[in-house]
Structure 1
Amino acid sequence: MIKNNKDMMLRSMALLLLDVLLIIVSMAGALWIRYDFRFTVIEPQFMGSVRNYILPNIGCTLLIFWAFRLYSSLWRFASIVELKNVLFAVVISTVMQFLGMRLFDLPVPRSYPFLYLLLLTCLTVVSRFSYRFLRIARHNLANHRKQRPVCTMIVGAGSAGYMIVREMKNSKHLNRKIPCIIDDDPNKIGTYLQGIPVVGNKESIPEFAEKYQIEEIVIAIPTLPRKAQKELLEICQTTCCKILTLPGIYQLVNEEVSVSMLRQVEIEDLLGREPVKLEMEEIMDYVSGKVILVTGGGGSIGSEICRQLALHHPGKLIIFDIYENNAYDIRNELLKKHPDLDLEVLIGSVRNERRVNSIFKTYHPDLVFHAAAHKHVPLMEDSPCEAVKNNVLGTWTVARAASQFGAKKMVLISTDKAVRPTNVMGASKRICELIIQGFAQESKTEFAAVRFGNVLGSNGSVIPLFKKQIEEGGPVTVTHPDIIRYFMTIPEAVNLVLQCGALAKRGEIFILDMGEPVKILELAKKMIRLYGYTPDKDIKIEFVGLRPGEKLYEEMLINEKNLTKTVNERIFVAHPAEVDCTDIRGKVEALVRMAFDEAEDIRIRMKELVPEYMICGQSPREEAAMTKDEE
């Protein structure tokens, strides 16, 4: 610290002595220029005036320079702010000199103040900014000697692009060469930004990436809408360059942008859909101060529900999960971020009626978010009885406890696979929806289900699988070239769940407008390109065939005619048809008994509850039972 202060004092003293010399040169130089660059013809009275006023002018000017921080600024980072300070200081110095000479009756030529102003401005600017220019040149030379710079294209010639270019050019830690800038504004094409040409619009990115052998593309347009961002990223991906971007939700604070804000493009950026907005006030009203139970609270969806709830000051948050490692991780995370949170983490199974009833009896939760479930389609095809035990029995047990112990609301996490299901997991979730609708007709508790598609990054999502396969060098496995899915991010899914909890009244099924479906083959190719590889050349794509119970196309709605909008234009509600509660209760109880008996034809009984269920890969016993029923 002492050494740094000493160095700064020495630099300030050096600048001060330099300024003394520059002031003398400017005063003498103004007369010299006025008299055609010849000292011998300068009138003696004018030379005498300048000589007599040198000391007062030096003292006054140095004080003015000090007041404008010309001795305390870091000139290696000099910018427009420092340039303005120099100009103001020199103008005031010139005015003060003019007034002082008039006051002491020291005559000078009429052009003298203007020439003095010009000279002192030029000399001061050069003296201050030359250090920065020399530093940039030394930095570029050192980088050139050290290693070949990364050839980088900047997309966006606005304020964010300007800041990024400036930092990349000036920082000694960033070895970047920027040969060109891209912008869609036709008025900017052909102009220069910090000496770098703006060469074309986004359609010309592949052309100039090849021409300049670009290795890295930086998208510096933080306010770009999602749809336009998707189109731009798709063009950038054709180049196989590394792509960096500024965060999507972004605010320019004092117009300051840093390279540290750049991040690699994620697959979420390629969805091309604006995220669902959350009505925070509605959530606060029914969450704040309440006792809330989240089953499956350690899973990908359940844990995010807990994170969001913790932000809204619940009276008590109860995490209930059978897997202790996940529950332990989310517990530590929440307590670290929210030390004042009243948190209870309990281990147990939702299918254990005594355990569930004990929790409800002890804590009397006001709100219940039921996220506990088996979700992996292929595994549930091989273990259908376990799907019934965990999904159907678990939902029945939690819903009955919520009704019996007076919970105000219960929200079930469902799936688009419950629509005309072709697999055990989807059929079990559809039965869970029927259970919720049945309880909604008889109970004072407000029940609802939330149905959405695939969640990016969740357990079982295709995204982590593709990432692992790409990192291992491939191949990337896709079930079918035409398979499509709807996708949403985990925060979006949780926002939907929380808002639907506020809207829940009587067994509704809430559905998110998820935009256009995504072709899984294209998703795989985009992910490969995000890693800087070329599909089928660097990383192979293999088709492995549809798994048991898997659809080519997922559906979001059972009956579109029964669909209405909510206060959020991106959330729809399918109002439930009347169900026979007694009939459903009897069939569910029989189905659960069959599950514990490990019945081979359990799919047939599931179809009795869900007639639209299309059974795939039947066992011989199931085929015989189906034939007998048809006869």
Structure 2
Amino acid sequence: MNAWRDRWSGALPRLAVVGHDLAMVWVVWLGLHWLRYSIIPNPPAIPLWSTEVALVLAAQGVVFWQVGLYRGLWRFASVPDLWNILKASALGMVAIAVGLFLYNRLDMVSRLVLVLYPLVLMGMLGAPRLMYRAWKDSRNERGHERSVRILILGAGHAGEALVRDLRRLGTYQPVGFLDDAGRLRGTKVQGVPVLGRVSDVTEVARESAAGLLVIAMPSANATALQRVVVACERTGLPFRMVPRLADVLEGRSLPGELKEVAIEDLLGRKPVLPDWKSIRDWLGARSVLVTGAGGSIGSELCRQCARHGARRIALVEIDELALTTTESLLRRDFPDVEFIQVLGDCGDPAVIGHALSESQPEAVFHAAAYKQVPLLEAQLREAVRNNVLSTETVARACLKSDVGTFVLISTDKAVDPVNVLGATKRLAEMACQSLAERSSTRFVTVRFGNVLDSAGSVVPLFREQIRNGGPVTVTDPDVTRYFMTIPEACQLILQASAIGTHEAIYTLDMGEAVPIRILAEQMIRLAGKQPGHDIAVVYTGLRPGEKLHETLFHADERYRATGHPKILQAEPRQIAASEIESALLAMRDASARYDRTTLASLLRSTVPDFNPMTEQVAVAQDSTTVVAFPARNARKV
């Protein structure tokens, strides 16, 4: 009974709209004929109801229904609805003319009436809809006199759409626009005046008593956005921005949501847009396995795989809390995808063998790794064990299980390495290359730079330091790094995997490097503070294993373009597979004995372009033992 009552109560408003529209058809048809014949002597009588009128109502009613006029709501009536009404009126006129011609050869039907009918009917149907919407909008504005007053920067399409959304919400009151386009000065957008230029924001915000600034410039480049942010900061008011369309489509922002300006918005490099069709064609309906699935890259990689068609995802993770958290979030967002949890160290052959057996993957993404540069300088044994030996273990297990594609997630620090992280990642690349030479498994290596907001990266550190009142610590005023976002990094991994050939190394053309000093200052400003005044910036000197500038490309790898304009493929350098295999066996033995001296010697001799920094030594933090990397002419072990 309740369901029937709900269905009936929901149908009543729609029936009322249908009744209104048919009544307008009746009024327009009879009214136009009355006006047409009233100018001639002895006009014929026009009955209020007849078979002809019934045919007109029936023909026009069917057209209204077929055109979909009753799928919209009067509350949100707009120009597209008026266009739909005009189309329905014109088609109705054709249907009426055909019906009456068949009925009575258009006897007593004025040709002038047929011409005027669609235009007059559009006015009679559209005006009540627009008036109803205006009435509802005015009620919302009167009912929220204490709503937040908003000043919008940008009077383009995004700003106009924002005003409509804010009025529907009713809790915000747009008071004006600021835009640098001279042609807009003194005009109104959706009834909201354009009050000046963006540079006038401080004066206009004060005069209009604005409580919030909204940047409605989703297509602005980083330089323009930096200028707008600086102007907003001078007002002392909170500010938000309309998200970019790509962020909405990728699920990083909700439609209509106002987000805080993020540091990635100010980096100065346009995000790399992937070829989603090729990714979905390659990934669709596949089973995949991700090691390090609880990390920042691993978890986002699982999310991207689920979003773009994977049917089963195995999550291998050694951290039980990270595994549980990641798996629960994935199940919530992707209930149709099968997720398999495997708790354990992927460097354990039994763990990775079990995971491969359970999931039967067609692709494996190896994201598990240690990556903290200064820490690894003093933890050589764990760096080798996790970054090199575990990679070989997973790769060999994939060969044994006939996995179609193995993807090693590497780093730009593997190019001309100067620290333990870069050297171990380069050796992991070489280990995969040696295995690729005698297997059908497709080995793909993907290198990228620093990832914004990843665990342990500089952005969360700066954010925490700013939250605590400073100081913000920067290693050197001249240090630069290449940056990309977590979703962008994972999209690169999937894109390279989709276009990858056998034994391929891919890297991203990341544009210009970003000075870390500028990054720190921008983050301080985004927090509403002034660098050097509210928050101090302190330079601490380069840490062990760090260098001023990263290198993206190796001189001997002969990069060439791929099907994606921002992804380059490197030509793998020649290696001696037998020497790599012998070195890895020796490393396993040294690792089992925790012999860091031998590990240092093996790493230095096996990776010929490894040139350790900080006087070629790494001092263990909890020991007085010094692990020295031998000179280049040292005897190989």
Q: Which TM class, normalised by the smaller chain length? A: 0.7 to 0.9
Which amino acid in 1 is paired with 2:216?
I
1:229 to 217, 221, 238: 221
Q: What is the distance in 2 between the residues matched to 1:537 and 1:422? A: 36
Which amino acid in 1 is paired with 2:331?
L
Which amino acid in 2 is paired with 1:436?
C
Q: What is the distance in 2 between the residues matched to 1:385 and 1:181? A: 59
Aligned residue number for residue 205 of structure 1? 198
1:402 Cα offset (Å): 2.2
Q: 1:13-92 to 2 correspondence within 5 Å? A: none
Aligned residue number for residue 263 of structure 1? 259
1:455 Cα offset (Å): 1.7
TM-score (norm 2): 0.73
1:544 aligns with 2:537: no
Aligned residue number for residue 179 of structure 1? 176
Query: Which secondary structure state, in structure 2, belongs to the residue aligned with residue 216 of structure 1?
Result: strand
CA pair 446-264 structure 1, distance change in 2 beyond 3 A:
same
1:441 Cα offset (Å): 1.9
Query: Which secondary structure state, in structure 1, belongs to the residue aligned with residue 437 of structure 2?
Result: helix
CA pair 314-614 structure 1, distance change in 2 beyond 3 A:
same
1:277 aligns with 2:274: yes
Count of aligned residue pairs for this structure pair = 582
Indicate conservation of the 8 Å contact 1:437/1:448, yes or no: no
Q: What is the distance in 2 between the residues matched to 1:554 and 1:309? A: 30
Aligned residue number for residue 299 of structure 1? 295
Larger Rg, first or second structure (1 or 2): 1
1:218 aligns with 2:215: yes
Q: 1:128-207 to 2 correspondence within 5 Å? A: 146=146, 149-156=149-156, 158=157, 160-168=158-166, 170-171=167-168, 173-184=170-181, 186-198=182-194, 204-207=197-200
Query: Which secondary structure state, in structure 2, belongs to the residue aligned with residue 497 of structure 1?
Result: helix
Aligned residue number for residue 565 of structure 2? 569
Which amino acid in 2 is paired with 1:481?
P
Aligned residue number for residue 368 of structure 2? 372
Aligned residue number for residue 613 of structure 1? 611
1:404 to 397, 400, 411: 400
TM-score (norm 1): 0.73
Q: What is the distance in 2 between the residues matched to 1:561 and 1:195? A: 60
Q: What is the distance in 1 between the residues matched to 2:559 and 2:593? A: 39
1:458 aligns with 2:454: yes
Aligned residue number for residue 528 of structure 1? 524
CA pair 629-181 structure 1, distance change in 2 beyond 3 A:
closer
Q: What is the distance in 1 between the residues matched to 2:513 and 2:430? A: 27
Aligned residue number for residue 385 of structure 2? 389
Q: 1:595-606 to 2 correspondence within 5 Å? A: 595-601=591-597, 602-606=599-603
Indicate conservation of the 8 Å contact 1:278/1:496, yes or no: no
Which amino acid in 2 is paired with 1:217?
V
Deviations 1:489-534 (A, max 9, x none): 2222222222322344443221011222222222222233333333
Which amino acid in 2 is paired with 1:610?
V
CA pair 573-259 structure 1, distance change in 2 beyond 3 A:
closer
Indicate conservation of the 8 Å contact 2:152/2:159, yes or no: no
Deviations 1:246-296 (A, max 9, x none): 3332899xxxxx9834333322323331323135336534x4455433222
Aligned residue number for residue 244 of structure 2? 247
Query: Which secondary structure state, in structure 1, belongs to the residue aligned with residue 245 of structure 2?
Result: coil
Q: 1:436-515 to 2 correspondence within 5 Å? A: 436-515=432-511
Aligned residue number for residue 419 of structure 2? 423
CA pair 391-623 structure 1, distance change in 2 beyond 3 A:
closer
1:621 Cα offset (Å): 6.3
Q: After the TM superposition, which of the residue ranges 175-184 and 385-394 deviates more from structure 2?
A: 175-184
Indicate conservation of the 8 Å contact 1:441/1:506, yes or no: no
CA RMSD of superposed structures (Å): 5.3
CA pair 393-151 structure 1, distance change in 2 beyond 3 A:
same
Query: Which secondary structure state, in structure 2, belongs to the residue aligned with residue 149 of structure 1?
Result: strand
1:426 Cα offset (Å): 1.6
Q: What is the distance in 1 between the residues matched to 2:469 and 2:611? A: 39
CA pair 259-408 structure 1, distance change in 2 beyond 3 A:
closer
CA pair 210-411 structure 1, distance change in 2 beyond 3 A:
same
CA pair 554-188 structure 1, distance change in 2 beyond 3 A:
same
CA pair 172-245 structure 1, distance change in 2 beyond 3 A:
closer
Q: 1:280-359 to 2 correspondence within 5 Å? A: 280-281=277-278, 284-285=281-282, 287-288=283-284, 290-311=286-307, 313-314=309-310, 316-359=312-355
* Unaligned stretches of 5+ residues in structure 1: 20-45, 93-120, 253-257
Aligned residue number for residue 111 of structure 1? none
Q: What is the distance in 2 between the residues matched to 1:283 and 1:124? A: 45
CA pair 479-624 structure 1, distance change in 2 beyond 3 A:
closer
Q: What is the distance in 2 between the residues matched to 1:627 and 1:514? A: 33
Indicate conservation of the 8 Å contact 1:486/1:516, yes or no: yes
Indicate conservation of the 8 Å contact 1:216/1:242, yes or no: yes
Aligned residue number for residue 30 of structure 2? none
CA pair 293-79 structure 1, distance change in 2 beyond 3 A:
closer
Q: What is the distance in 2 between the residues matched to 1:395 and 1:588? A: 11
CA pair 183-165 structure 1, distance change in 2 beyond 3 A:
farther
Q: After the TM superposition, which of the residue ranges 243-252 and 541-550 deviates more from structure 2?
A: 243-252
CA pair 331-194 structure 1, distance change in 2 beyond 3 A:
closer
Query: Which secondary structure state, in structure 1, belongs to the residue aligned with residue 221 of structure 2?
Result: helix
Indicate conservation of the 8 Å contact 1:283/1:498, yes or no: no
Which amino acid in 2 is paired with 1:149?
R
Indicate conservation of the 8 Å contact 1:385/1:598, yes or no: yes
Identity, in percent, stands at: 34
Indicate conservation of the 8 Å contact 2:272/2:566, yes or no: no
Which amino acid in 1 is paired with 2:410?
S
Aligned residue number for residue 36 of structure 1? none
* Unaligned stretches of 5+ residues in structure 2: 25-38, 66-71, 94-121
Which amino acid in 2 is paired with 1:465?
L
Q: What is the distance in 2 between the residues matched to 1:549 and 1:490? A: 24
Indicate conservation of the 8 Å contact 2:274/2:495, yes or no: no
Q: What is the distance in 2 between the residues matched to 1:354 and 1:131? A: 69
Indicate conservation of the 8 Å contact 1:476/1:524, yes or no: yes
Which amino acid in 2 is paired with 1:399?
A
